[in-house]
Amino acid sequence: MQPVPHIDVPPGIPGIRSLLAFRPETAGPLSALASALLVAPNSLTPAERELIAASVSARNDCTFCRDSHEAIAACHLGGDEALVAAAVRDPESAAIPAKLKALLALASRVQQGGRAVREEDVARARAQGATDVEIHDTVLIAAAFCMYNRYVDGLAAWTPTDPEGYRDRARLVATHGYLVTTGAPQGSAS
């Protein structure tokens, strides 16, 4: 049984989108941050950045964010849901580039706590070709998604179970980004 949100959010809007609709004053900055981290031009692809978000969300056991960002990553990867699931479940054995494996390991450390990041985690990422900007952005994506995950689960936002709803919403986000799509009530993912 789906838990009831802890606050009176607009009905029928899933996950973080209901919380953003409830408090538009914070929706703008939170959406702008997601857009800057996941959509804006970057040497990391949108798929790689979405995988970082999905991986951290999975480690935080935030079903809504994990399913949303896995679907968006898969959309960016031509629908390859199996690759995305493998990368989120066990990046070290997934068929992804070594640099992305190192960045996902770094993100995992950030998810544990900022001080869990070790010199060797950063050195590994650098050895695989990650730039300082990519290391920075990985740490910031991981930190931001710890916040987003706690926001969604801390207020018990509605988490749909139909994968097709996440796929539908992922196509919108992958095409139009986060700033355009955060408030629209259709679909069922971030």
Residues of the domain holding 136: 15-177
Phi and psi, residue 141, nearest 5°: -60, -45
* Domain presence at residue 188: no
How high is the pLDDT of residue 161?
94
* Domain presence at residue 39: yes
* Domain presence at residue 9: no
Query: pTM for the full model?
Result: 0.93
* Domain presence at residue 164: yes
What total number of domains does the chain contain?
1
Q: Estimate to the nearest angstrom the gap between the alpha carbon of 121 and the chain centroid.
A: 21
67: domain CATH number? 1.20.1290.10
* Domain presence at residue 77: yes
What is the secondary structure of 32-73 as a DSSP string? Answer: HHHHHHHTSS-SS-HHHHHHHHHHHHHHTT-HHHHHHHHHHH
Closest among 115, 116, 133, 135 to 124, alpha carbons compared: 135
How high is the pLDDT of residue 56?
98
How high is the pLDDT of residue 1?
58
How high is the pLDDT of residue 190?
57
Closest among 141, 153, 111 to 15, alpha carbons compared: 153
* Domain presence at residue 8: no
CA distance 126 to 121: 9
* Domain presence at residue 165: yes
How high is the pLDDT of residue 65?
98
Binned average pLDDT, 10 residues per bin, the chain of 190 residues: 85 95 95 96 97 98 98 98 98 98 98 97 98 98 98 97 96 87 42
- Answer for the pair 158, 7: CB distance below 8 angstroms, yes or no: no
